Amino acid sequence: MTSEALKTARDMIGEPDSRAGIPTPALVLDLDAFERNVARMAEHCRLNGLGLRPHAKTHKSVSIARAQIAAGALGVCCAKLGEAEAMAAGGIESILITSPVVTKQGLGRLVALNAKLPDLMVVVDNPENARALAAAAAEGKRKLKVLVDLDVGLHRTGIRPGEEATDLAELLDAAEYLELRGLQAYAGHLMHIHDFAERREKSLAAMKVLGEQRDALKAKGMCCDIVSGGGTGSYNIDPEANVLTELQGGSYIFMDKQYHDVALGNGASFPFETSLFVQMSVVSNNTKSLATTDAGFKSFSTDAEPPKLLSGAPEGAGYFFFGDEQGGILLPEGARLPLGSVLTAMTPHCDPTVNLYDAYHVVRGDVLVDVWPIEARGRSA
């Protein structure tokens, strides 16, 4: 997998293959831990007779999508049309777009993508959008596969379960150029509940609603071959409900601080390891018990708690945001970090952190083995 980008990186570093020499701040992916995560989730789904459609919104990388598919995933989810365009350009063939596409220019791009992609699906949560999609697909003269997006409690997207959802499914089913394939639901509000018993109870309740909707569609003779949903937080709960046909987890490949904390309260097993790190360097150290690094608001997402320091600083040191470009390291009394010291932190929330970088610096142990571009970075439109 040695790439042009790796050659460029090696030229820039001047010390080929050295993890410590990567220009900082950098997003570093531990390939061993990543591969174990990919394999473990694939195996989990296989053992439970469940398909796996990992969410590419987490990694935005064609290389990672390929690794997931090579391990058995059916394809990927994309949050946005632009993300799907980037994945398709990289050769990923089976894509589910998990947010509604509603704007006029969006519909045009969706139809154009559908003409190129053998296995594109998009979710729909509104009759008005269903009619617009039907018209756009008819104009493109090519069938577009759709799933009804069901609101199981998050109220972000999705149609209310019951009669409204069934009516929407009938509308989609009747459209000549739409092909109803089933349902999607995402209980994003339940994924980070720390207590496992509570997370399990609420997740199973959401799955029950989804299962009833599936039965209602089937009772009316409509196709419901695909029931897509779930996430890293419910990966070991969803199989028990026996409703999903495919699991949508994203973060399991990286295990950020948010999910790391969930795992601690998980009770049951949570076999994924932190594989993604931000590497940074000390650039100033003139103040007692303080060091300044080169990673601030532009290098870590700030929607969650601050990053957790893992290496490069003494026990008891902590990171704080020190503006757009810098981080502060508060050190134990008397401690000092030399200029150029390399520190590693766990990402606070992986998805928006990844979205700040153009590439993963991929390492095995202390060796830089590849650089993977983040093709869909910034493709939020």
Only one residue has tokens 């071959």, namely 225
The token pair that represents 79 in the structure block: 């949050």
161 to 197, 277, 350: CA distances (angstroms): 25, 40, 31
CA distance 160 to 173: 18
The token pair that represents 319 in the structure block: 């990171």
Kindly provide the b/e burial profile for residues 146-157, where b requires at least 16 CB atoms within 10 angstroms of the residue's own CB. bbbbbbbbeeeb
H-type alpha helices, 316-355 = 350-354
CA distance 139 to 174: 16
The token pair that represents 67 in the structure block: 């690794």
Nearer to a copy of itself, 204 or 330 (CB): 330
The token pair that represents 363 in the structure block: 């390492």
Terminal alpha carbon distance of the chain:
30
CA distance 24 to 21: 8
Residue 367 phi, psi dihedral angles, 5° rounding: -110, 130
The closest alpha carbon to 95, from 200, 228, 204, 287, belongs to: 228
Three-state secondary structure call for residue 135: helix
The closest alpha carbon to 223, from 181, 167, 176, 184, belongs to: 181
The closest alpha carbon to 251, from 362, 347, 351, belongs to: 351
Decide if 350 contacts 336 (C-beta within 8 A): no
Nearer to a copy of itself, 43 or 322 (CB): 322
Greatest CA separation for the chain? 73
Neighbouring residues of 287: CB distance < 8 A, sequence distance ≥ 6? none
Residue 180 phi, psi dihedral angles, 5° rounding: -70, 125
CA distance 78 to 98: 6
